[in-house]
Amino acid sequence: MPTTNAPSSQFLDLEKNENEPDTNGAGRFKPTSDDDACFGLWNMYLSQAHEYDKTLLEGWKKDMDGMLLFSALYSASLTALIVESYKKLQPDPADLTTSLLTTISLQLASISNGTTTTVGLPDTSFKPMASSLLCNMLWFLSLALALTCSLLATFVQQWTRDFLHKTTMRPSPVVQARVLAFSYFGLRRFGMHTFVDVIPILLHISLFFFFAGLVAFLLPVNLPLTILMTCVLFIFVLVYSALTLHPLLFLDTPYRTPLSDLLWRLGNALALRKHSLAGDLSLTEAMIEKSLHKSPDRDRRCMEFTMKLLDHDTELVPMFEAVSEAIISFETTSGVRLANFGIVAPLIQSPNPENNMISRIHNFISASGSLAGDPQHRVRNMQLCLYTLTSFAWLVIRHAVENIGSDYSQYPVFWFQRDLLELLSSSPFLPKGYLISTIAALRTSRIQGFRRCIEWMGEVMSSRQKTCTEQLGEVRSIFTNLSREDIDWTSGKFTHHFDQLDSTLQNACISGMSETDAAVLVQQAQEHIAQLMDMSRWKASLISVLSQFLSEATDAALVPFEMDRTFTLIHSSIPTLEIFDASLDIEEDEARATYLLQNTSTDPQSVSPELFTLIFRLLFSTKRALHFPGALESRVVLYKYICNCTNDLRTPLIESDPAYHLEECALLDLSGDGAGDLARRWILGLWALYHSMGFNESVVPPRLLSFAKGIFRLLPTASTNFIQDHWWFCTSTDTERILCKDIIKKLEHLSSGYDISDSHHISSFITPTMGDIRTLGQRLLPELPVPECPLPCPTDVYQHWITEIQDYVFSMHLLIIAKYIRIISDDVGIAVGDWTNMGLPMQMHHGHICETVQLQFANSVWKLVSREPWRHRDSPKSVIFHNSVWHLSPHWCWVTDMESAKILAKAIQRHKNDANFKGMVWYEDVCLARCMEVTREAETVEEPSVPQ
C-alpha cells in the first residue's frame, strides 16, 4: 500500500462513510456482475497492496521481536539492581541491632568498672538519602517503561496477525481488496504508524532513566566510580544526540534514532529545511527522494563496483543487454538516451581494464572463438557483444554532436582502439549483419574523435594568450593521441598535410628555440591544420565509411542490422557536413569510394531497395558520378535493377532522389549512341520508371511530366541503336501519352468558366498550355494547323476556339490510342497503355476527330481483329479487345470518315462471322450502326442526280 498522504477531504469522507451503517441492502455482501467485471482491476490493486503490506507488517513484527527480547533481558537486569536499591528507602534492621548491642556493651562496661553511665537509646527515626530516592525513582520508571514496551510490542504482533487474517479470509479478489482497503485506511486513520514508532522511543527513554539512576546509585558508594559512570552517561547522551541529529544534516547517513523523525517533522513545521526538498516529506521519504537525485560520481562508483563483481567474462552477457537498453532509444530523434551518458561513460572511459567494458568485450570476443557449447547460444552472445559496441559508438557520436563547441580540455575525446577493429574484422564467427553495422559505427566514432583532436589543435593555435612555444608544446601533446595508421581512408592530400604537421611538430622539439623560430613553426602548423580541417577531407572520410558499410552489405547479400539508423548516424556525425552535397567536391583518389554501383548485383533478392538506394545516392555525392571511367557500366546496372524490381521496390529509389539523378542518367544516355546492351536496358528501365512515377494515375505528377518532356525533346535525335529496338515505339508512345494526358487535364480547366475579360489572367494559363499543344502537335499531326486562341475576343468566339482546340487535342489522343492498339496487336505479351484513363475522355467527347486519325484508328482496330483476339483467352489482345476498344465511346459520333467507317464495319463483321462469336461486346454494335450510317450517307451524297 502506498504511504502518500491523501487530501484531507478524502479522509473526512472516509471517516464519515466507514462509520455509517450499510444502507445498500440487507444480508451479507455478494459480488454483483459489475463487481466481477472489476476482477482484473482489483487483482492489480491486490498485487501491489499485498506486497507493500507484507513488507510493512513483517518489518513491524521483526522490530517487535527484537524489542521483546531486549526488554525481557533489560527488565531482568534492572530488577536485580532494584532489589538492592529499594532497601535504602527504609531502615536497615541490621543497623538497629548493631546500635542496641553497642549500647548494651557500654552499659556492661560501666557496671564492671563500678561507674554509672547513662547510655541513650539509639535513634530509630529514618530519612532516606536524596541519591537513593532519585535512583529508585528513575529505575522504577525505567522498569515500568520497559514492561510497557513489552506489552505494547505484544499488542502490535497480535494486531498484525489479525490484519493479515482479516485480509485473507475470503478468496474473492473483490472481497479481499475491499477488506484490505477498509483495514489499511483504518490503520492509517487511527495512527498505528505513530503508535509503532512510539514503542522504541519509550524503550530509549527507559535506558536514559537507567543510566541516570545508576549514577545516583553509585554517588554515596564511591565518588571516583560515580564520576566514571557520569562520564559514561555523558558520552551515551552525546552519541545518542549525534545519531539523532546526523540524518537531519546528512540524508545519506545510515544512522538514526526514533527521535530523528520527530525532530524532522518539527523542522518541517518550522520551515527549517536544510535540503530544500519539495513537499512535506517524512525523513524516510526525504532520504529516498534525495537518493534519486543524479550524482555522476556515485554512478561511476556503482558501475565500477558492478564490473569488479563480474569476475568471469561469461557473467558479462546480462550486462551487455542491460547497457544496450540504457543507451538505445527508439523514441528520440537521436536514437540514444543522452541523459544516461553519465552512467555509461565510466564503463568505457576507465583506465582499468577490469572496469572498462570495451576491454572486457574485447577479451570476451577473443575467448569465445575457442569456447565449446551451443552454437546458437554463442551467436546470441556475439550479437549482444556487437550490439553493445554499436550502442557505445552511437552514444559517443551523438554526445559529441550535442556538445559541439564545448571546451576541448574539459570534454575528453573517446577513442576506440585499432586493435578492436582488427579483432572484429578478423573474427570469422561473428554474425555478419551485426558486424557490418558495428564496424561502421566504430569507424565513424574514430573519425569524429580524429577531427575533434584536429579542431582542438586549431583552437590552441588561434589562442593569443600563450606564447608560440607554449602553443607548439600543447599541440604536440594533443598530436600524440593520433597516428598515421588512424587514417584508414584513402586521401593523399589529407595524409600529406598530416605528415607535414607531424614533421613541423618534430622540429618544435628542438631545445633552446627562439620565439621567432617558434612563430614560423606555428604559422606552418596553422596552414597544415587549416588544410586538415577542410570539409572536403572529412566528407571523403565519411564517404569511405559509408562505402565500406554498403560494399560489405552487398557482398554478404544481406541488410545490415539497423541499416537506416547506422546510415543516419554516419551521415549526421559531423553536423555541418552534408555528404550528398555534390557542390562540396573531393579529390579523385577520395572519390573512388563512391564507385560501388558498377559492381552491385541487380537482383532485388540479394540487394534490397534501401541498400541499392544508398549506393545510388553515394554515387552522386560527387561531381564525377556521370563521367568517371565506369560511369556507363554503373548506369547499365541501374537500369537492370530497375527492370528487375517490382513497382513497390522502385518507389523508395525514386522518392530518395529529390535531385532527379535518375532522370539525369536517362537523358544523358538517350543523347548517346546506346551501344551494346545500353539501349535495350535503357528502354526497359524508362518504361519501369514511367510506371513507378505515376504513369497510370489520372493526373500526371509534376516529376513525371518534367521527365517525359525531357525525353520527348530528345526522341528525334536518338541513335539507331534505340530506334531499332523492338520496344522503342512503345517508349515513344508512352512519352506522348504522358504529355497528352496532361494537356487534356488542362483543357478541362480552360473550359470551366474562365473570365475572358481578364485577358492577362487567362493568358497566363493558356500560353504554357498552347506551348505544350504545339510541341506535341508538330510531332503527331504535322499536317494539321493548331487552332490559335484569338484573345482578346467575345465569349462566343472563345467558346468556338475551345471546341476547336479540344477536337485537335482529342485527335492526338485517339492517334496515341491507335498506336497502343497496334503495339498490342504485335504480340508484345503485355497490355501497354493506361486504358482506364484513356477511355474515359473519349467517352465524353462529342466533337470532331481528324480524318487521318480516324483512318489510323480504324486500321489499328482491323489489325487487332485480324489476330482474332477472342481466340486467345486472357491474352493482352483479348483483354484490350473485349474490355477497352469497344468501350471507348457509347455513341461513336466522331466516326465521320467513310473509309474509316468501312474498315471498322469490316472488322466488326469479321468478329460476328467467326465460328466462336459469342455476341457483341460493350458498344461494338453501336459502332457498327454508326459506321453503316456514315457509309450510307456518303454513298447517298456520291449518287448522281437523275435528269428530269
**Rg for the chain, CA atoms, rounded:** 50
**Residues 292-301: pLDDT tens digits?**
666 777 777 7
pLDDT at position 829, please? 73
Cβ contacts of residue 229 below 8 Å, gap of 6+? Answer: 211, 214, 215, 218
Chain centroid to CA 748: how far? 47
Cβ atoms 475, 457 nearer than 8 A: yes
DSSP letter, residue 318:
H
Cβ contacts of residue 938 below 8 Å, gap of 6+? Answer: 898, 901
Which residue did the predictor score with more confidence, 197 or 607?
607
Angle CA(786)–CA(787)–CA(790) in degrees, nearest 5?
A: 140
| Cα diameter, the chain | 216
Buried b (16+ CB within 10 A) or exposed e, 422-433: ebbeeeeebbbb
Q: Record the cell numbers describing residue 468, joined without a space.
A: 608560440
pLDDT at position 318, please? 85
Q: What is the pTM of this model?
A: 0.74
Q: How buried is 18 (Cβ within 10 angstroms: 0-12 exposed, 13-18 middle, 19+ buried)? A: exposed
**Quick check: 732 pLDDT over 80?**
yes
**Residues 132-171: pLDDT tens digits?**
777 777 777 877 887 888 877 877 777 777 777 666 666 6
As a whole number of angstroms, the distance between CA 246 and CA 773 comes to 93
% of the chain at pLDDT higher than 70: 82
SS3 337: coil
- φ/ψ (deg, to 5) at 549: -60, -50
Quickly state the pLDDT bin for 586 (edges 50, 70, 90): very high
Q: How many Cβ atoms are within 10 Å of 581's Cβ, its own excluded? A: 12
Residues β-bridged to residue 336: 328
Q: Which residue has the cell 541513335?
A: 719
**Residues 544-567: pLDDT tens digits?**
999 999 999 999 988 898 898 899
pLDDT at position 942, please? 60
Q: How many Cβ atoms are within 10 Å of 16's Cβ, its own excluded? A: 9
pLDDT at position 234, please? 79
Chain centroid to CA 648: how far? 26
SS3 878: helix
SS3 336: strand
Q: How buried is 419 (Cβ within 10 angstroms: 0-12 exposed, 13-18 middle, 19+ buried)? A: exposed
> What is the amino acid identity at position 172?
S
Chain centroid to CA 135: how far? 73
Closest of 623, 629, 626, 648 to residue 638, by C-alpha: 626
pLDDT at position 49, please? 65
Closest of 554, 569, 561 to residue 613, by C-alpha: 554
Q: Record the cell numbers describing residue 533, joined without a space.
A: 580541417
- φ/ψ (deg, to 5) at 336: -135, 160
Buried b (16+ CB within 10 A) or exposed e, 214-231: bbbbbbeeeeeebeebbe
As a whole number of angstroms, the distance between CA 668 and CA 412 comes to 50
Closest of 422, 32, 19, 421 to residue 185, by C-alpha: 19
Q: Which residue has the cell 491507335?
A: 818
**Quick check: 677 pLDDT over 70?**
yes
What are the extents of the domains in the chain? 1-18+35-90+128-221, 259-291, 595-725, 795-942
SS3 354: coil
* CA distances, 397 to each of 321, 328, 333, 441 (Å): 20, 13, 14, 9
Cβ atoms 201, 152 nearer than 8 A: no
**Residues 631-672: pLDDT tens digits?**
999 999 999 999 998 888 888 889 988 899 999 999 999 998
**Residues 389-426: pLDDT tens digits?**
999 999 999 988 888 766 666 666 788 889 999 999 99
Q: How many Cβ atoms are within 10 Å of 277's Cβ, its own excluded? A: 16
**Mean predicted lDDT score pLDDT of the chain:** 81
- φ/ψ (deg, to 5) at 101: -65, -35
Range scoring the smallest mean pLDDT among 363-372, 545-554, 587-596, 695-704: 363-372
**Residues 112-139: pLDDT tens digits?**
776 655 555 555 555 666 767 777 777 7
Q: Record the cell numbers describing residue 133, joined without a space.
A: 530516592
